[in-house]
Amino acid sequence: VQQTYIMLKPDALQRGLAGEIISRIEKKGYHMVRCELKMLDEAILKEHYAHIADKPFFPELVAYMTSGPVLAMIIEGENAIVGMRMLMGATKFGEALPGTIRGDFANTTTENLIHGSDSEETAAIEIKRFFGE
């Protein structure tokens, strides 16, 4: 059984989509084992998004991710890391398929509702980053 770090981004909460998204995760058979509403700051975002911190869209990403609270979660289930990425859909607006969370609800590449760890290694790092030991 795998654990992955999932985060509902500020637009998901502002648009009232948290229930719908959590419902999809639960219907898939995954379980929420931790959950916390929190505000992020620029320091944690620079760490979390270190791989894209030098991109031109980074300031826009920080403004978006600090525009309201996020819902940080640990989601557990068989093959949950890859499985959650499939439920989420593609990063790029226009590539996310209907039936996925981003494909059904996201309208831009930046404001894409949800984050999910992309490997076992990053899942462990991100769970520690957002929930501690």
Residue 4 neighbours by CB distance under 10 Å: 27
Cα angle for residues 81, 127, 102 (degrees, 5° grid): 45
Q: How far is the CB of 18 from ligand ATP (least distance, A)?
A: 16
The only residue of 3, 4, 100, 112 in contact with ligand ATP, by rule CB under 6 A: 112
Q: Which stretch binds ligand ATP (CB under 6 A): 11-19, 37-45, 66-74, 110-118?
A: 110-118
The only residue of 33, 52, 53, 63 in contact with ligand ATP, by rule CB under 6 A: 52
Q: Does 67 bind ligand ATP (CB under 6 A)?
A: no
100 annotated ligand-binding residue: no
In angstroms, the first-to-last Cα distance of the chain is: 19
Q: Using an 8 Å Cβ cutoff, are 106 and 120 in contact?
A: no
Q: Using an 8 Å Cβ cutoff, are 5 and 117 in contact?
A: yes
Q: Identify residue 84 by its one-letter amino acid code.
A: M
Q: Does 109 bind ligand ATP (CB under 6 A)?
A: yes
Residues forming contacts to ligand ATP in the complex (CB under 6 A) are 49, 52, 57, 61, 91, 109-110, 112, 115-116, 118
